[in-house]
């Protein structure tokens, strides 16, 4: 009996330590990618389809997981559009029609600017640390880099799109090199690959992200990080509906 109790306690301790370690790994990786406090970035997104391609360039400001603002800089027909996220609410501004539109929650899973990234991916900045539970399920290599393989399951009532995520996070530098996104029924929807490692603003990170849908052959979206700055001072007032129309 004592042996059984001891075994149960040991198992519970192992599970607790494993869960804590997984959460810590995910948090370190998330902080490294988005900045512990804030970030500013300039990116180019190429949408690839079997018969055509198009590129969209944009600037992005983020502060934690509650505040983000994105401004489109190219092409000319889309330039000036902006997108704002404050907590769980999102808006878009289109200068051509001089109108601000609040995005309903139902649009979280829709493609952003016609890409394979969803509004949730680019705007909502869902917290992979807060909104999910974490569990180390193995160790695998991605491009010959040793990684922790971590399963993320949404917490009850968490306002997220995905039924499950699996992250491959490098052991040495805490980099998210691969992410699989699953729907609520457990089917793989898309895979994101991070590569072309460079040092930007003092930290090593992937500078190219490829998002590949699982069931749309020939489709993918490639985002290249042109510039990024971490932990810069940004006032909360910067993230406002009024500023959406003024930002450049």
2 is a domain residue: no
User: What range defines the domain where residue 72 resides?
Assistant: 12-244
Give the count of beta carbons closer than 10 Å to the beta carbon of residue 24: 13
Q: Provide the pLDDT for residue 104.
A: 81
Q: Provide the pLDDT for residue 9.
A: 42
Q: Provide the pLDDT for residue 13.
A: 40
Q: With CA atoms as reference, report the closest residue to 102 among 80, 123, 76, 126.
A: 123
64 is a domain residue: yes
Peptide bond into 74 cis (omega under 30): no
Q: How many domains does the chain have?
A: 1
Distance CA 26, CA 135 (A): 10
Distance CA 224, CA 235 (A): 27
Average pLDDT of the chain is 88
**Digit-coded pLDDT (tens) for 11-36:** 444 444 455 589 999 999 999 988 88
Q: Provide the pLDDT for residue 4.
A: 53
**Digit-coded pLDDT (tens) for 47-105:** 999 999 999 999 999 998 889 999 999 999 999 999 998 887 889 999 988 899 998 87
- Using a pLDDT cut of 90, give the percent of the chain over it: 69
**Digit-coded pLDDT (tens) for 171-230:** 999 999 999 999 999 999 999 999 999 999 999 999 999 999 999 999 999 999 999 999
Tokens, residue 33: 């990618």
Q: For residue 80, give the CATH number of its domain.
A: 2.50.20.10
**Digit-coded pLDDT (tens) for 96-130:** 888 999 988 777 777 888 899 887 776 655 578 88
202 is a domain residue: yes
Q: Provide the pLDDT for residue 103.
A: 84
Whether 139 has a pLDDT exceeding 50, the answer reads: yes
141 is a domain residue: yes
Q: CB-hemisphere CA count at 13 Å for 176?
A: 22
pLDDT band, residue 164 (cuts 50/70/90) = very high
Q: Please tell me which residue, 46 or 31, carries the higher pLDDT value.
A: 46
6 is a domain residue: no
Tokens, residue 205: 């990170």
217 burial class (0-12, 13-18, 19+ CB within 10 angstroms)?
exposed
3 is a domain residue: no
Q: Provide the pLDDT for residue 110.
A: 79
1 is a domain residue: no
Pairing assessment for the beta strands 52-63 and 67-74 based on DSSP bridges:
antiparallel
211 is a domain residue: yes
């Amino acid at each position: 009996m004592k042996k059984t109790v001891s075994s149960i306690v040991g198992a519970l301790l192992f599970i607790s330590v494993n869960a804590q370690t997984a959460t810590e790994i995910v948090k370190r990786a998330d902080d490294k990618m988005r900045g512990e406090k804030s970030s500013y970035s300039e990116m180019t997104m190429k949408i690839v389809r079997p018969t055509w391609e198009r590129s969209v360039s944009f600037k992005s400001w983020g502060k934690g997981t509650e505040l983000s603002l994105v401004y489109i800089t190219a092409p000319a027909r889309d330039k000036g559009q902006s997108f704002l996220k404050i907590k769980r609410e999102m808006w878009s501004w289109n200068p051509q029609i001089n109108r601000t539109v609040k995005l309903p929650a139902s649009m979280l899973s829709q493609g952003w600017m016609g890409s394979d990234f969803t509004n949730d991916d680019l705007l909502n900045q869902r917290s992979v640390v807060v909104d999910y539970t974490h569990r180390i399920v193995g160790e695998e290599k991605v491009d010959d880099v040793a990684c922790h393989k971590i399963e993320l399951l949404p917490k009850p009532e968490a306002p997220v799109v995905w039924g499950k995520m699996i992250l491959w996070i490098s052991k040495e530098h805490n980099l998210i090199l691969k992410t699989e996104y699953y729907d609520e029924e457990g089917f793989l929807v898309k895979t994101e690959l991070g590569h072309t490692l460079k040092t930007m603003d003092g930290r090593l990170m992937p500078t190219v992200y490829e998002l590949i849908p699982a069931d749309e052959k020939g489709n993918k979206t490639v985002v290249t990080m042109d510039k990024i700055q971490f932990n810069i001072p940004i006032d909360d007032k910067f993230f406002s509906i009024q500023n959406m129309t003024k930002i450049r």
